[in-house]
């Protein structure tokens, strides 16, 4: 394939990634609302470690485990900011 073909593939994959991230964010917002009701902390490092272990386990490569974890550290950082009640985007 030519570069243009690979870029088209990347554009299509990005559409799927954005949809999945949006779905994941909606789940995180729902969890955030439940946490707010029960006055539970937003940041749960033990749960985040489980998520890291899980995504590293299912990672088929070529990304390394450390690279996958880097991506998930950023993803969960964004999820936490979305869960904060003061954030109007959390209600979307």
Ligand X SMILES: O=C(O)C(=O)C[C@]1(C(=O)O)C=C[C@@H](O)C=C1
28 and 87 in contact (C-beta within 8 Å)?
no
Question: 3-class SS at 53?
Answer: helix
Among 18, 20, 30, 43, binds ligand X (CB under 6 A): 43
51 is a contact residue toward ligand X (CB under 6 A): yes
Stretch of 9-17, 42-50, 53-61, 63-71 lying at the interface with ligand X (CB under 6 A): 42-50
Q: Give the span between the Cα atoms of 36 and 17, in whole angstroms.
A: 28
Contact yes or no for 70/56 (Cβ under 8 A): no
Task: Give the interface segment with ligand X, choosing from 14-22, 47-55, 59-67, 84-92 (CB under 6 A).
Answer: 47-55
User: Which residues are at the interface with ligand X (CB under 6 A)?
Assistant: 28, 31, 43-44, 47-48, 51, 76, 79-80
């Amino acid at each position: 394939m030519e570069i243009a073909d690979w870029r088209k593939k990347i554009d299509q994959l990005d559409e799927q990634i954005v949809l999945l991230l949006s779905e994941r964010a909606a789940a995180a917002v729902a969890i955030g609302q439940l946490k707010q009701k029960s006055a539970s902390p937003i940041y749960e490092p033990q749960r985040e470690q489980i998520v890291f272990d899980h995504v590293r386990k299912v990672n088929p490569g070529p990304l390394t485990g450390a690279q996958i974890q880097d991506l998930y550290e950023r993803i969960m950082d964004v999820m936490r900011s979305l869960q904060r009640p003061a954030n109007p985007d959390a209600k979307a």
